[in-house]
Amino acid sequence: MIPSQMLKGILGGCILTVISREETYGYEISQKLRQMGFGNIAEGTIYPLLLRLTKNGCICATLKASDTGPARKYYSLTNTGKEELAQFQKDWLELSTAVNHLIGENSHG
Amino acid sequence: MIPSQMLKGILGGCILTVISREETYGYEISQKLRQMGFGNIAEGTIYPLLLRLTKNGCICATLKASDTGPARKYYSLTNTGKEELAQFQKDWLELSTAVNHLIGENSHG
DNA sequence: GTTTGTACTTTGCATTACAAGGTACTGCTA
DNA sequence: TAGCAGTACCTTGTAATGCAAAGTACAAAC
């Protein structure tokens, strides 16, 4: 299990990434993240995050009926969201480079 | 600049990594992290974190005089700290694998 | 009609990076 | 002597954010 603290500042970008692939909704996002190896991300994490991203203008929702349960909120990226996603990927690269550099150097020591 | 939220849950492990290479003190750790590409990590981040790690039994300090300023607190890893470091590296691998997998899949459509 | 699975929401909490301000020692300069 | 820069550490309060817990609601199966 990835510690929850490690997910801070990362989940938002991950969700933008998932949505960028295709329109999707909260419940499905949580399932996809689990399949991707993020472990079980609580609903109390996903839904507030989606609301935050909506408020920030990164994503927008369309309500669509479902045959198998209550209606779903399908999300898609706005232009702001696309910029935000690009920035996240840049930031992630910077972080992972620094950490891998640090951990890697350990073995030369 | 790496966003501060992205550093949550990561800085602790990074500091353990730095200390594992050789005994060092707060001020020097902040300089090393900057050199490693983490940007300027505030003192208000470093010192509380070192206190926390000490309280958790991950590191322990030895006060040593300096020729060029006030005394320094040199930190070294305890056994608990070594376990914590190993766990961090495992967690980091899990996280970075998941994120890279997610970002990478994006380009396959 | 009760349960299971789907699907979204809200409240309150814990963790943690950081800004801002403070203390204190050394060495240099005027 | 006074003042400043660099080194070195500490404390308080704040903001961001993942999550637990609880609630609402619809559909299908039993």
Q: Map out the domains of chain B as residue ranges.
A: 4-108
Task: Report pLDDT for B106.
Answer: 52
- Among A56-65, B36-45, B97-106, the range scoring the smallest mean pLDDT is B97-106
Distances from the Cα of B51 to the Cαs of A98, B44, B46, B58, in angstroms?
24, 11, 9, 10
pLDDT(B32) > 60: yes
Q: Residue B109 — very low, low, confident or very high, per pLDDT cuts 50/70/90? A: very low
Q: Look at residue A109 in the predicted model and tell me its pLDDT.
A: 41
What DSSP assignment string belongs to A34-85? IIIII----HHHHHHHHHHHHHTTSEEEEEE--SSSS-EEEEEE-HHHHHHH
CA distances from A38 to A10, A94, B102 (A): 11, 20, 10
What pLDDT does B107 receive?
Answer: 56
User: Is a pLDDT exceeding 70 seen at residue A106?
Assistant: no
Could you read off the pLDDT of B1-16 as tens digits, one per residue?
A: 999 999 999 999 999 9
Mean pLDDT of A63-80: 95
Q: Provide the number of CB pairs (under 8 Å) joining chain A to chain B.
A: 89
- A40 with A93: CB under 8 angstroms? no
Lowest mean pLDDT among A48-57, A69-78, B63-72, B98-107: B98-107
Residue at the smallest CA–C1' distance to nucleotide C11 = A44
Cβ separation A7–B9 shorter than 8 A: yes
pLDDT at A107: 55
The nt closest to B61 (CA vs C1′) is D9
Q: How far apart are CA A71 and CA A109, in angstroms?
A: 57
What pLDDT score was predicted for residue A105? 77
Burial (CB count <10 Å: 0-12, 13-18, 19+), residue B21: middle
Contact A9 B7 (CB under 8 A): yes
Residue B105 pLDDT > 80:
no
Taking the domain B4-108, which CATH number applies?
1.10.10.10
> What's the Cα-to-Cα distance from B7 to each of A35, A86, B66, B73, B77, rounded to whole Å?
24, 18, 31, 24, 21
Task: Report the percent of chain B where pLDDT is more than 70.
Answer: 96
Which top CATH class is A4-105?
mainly alpha
Mean pLDDT for B23-49 is 97
Residue–nucleotide distance: B19 CA to C29 C1' (Å): 37
- As a whole number of angstroms, the distance between CA A65 and CA A85 comes to 28
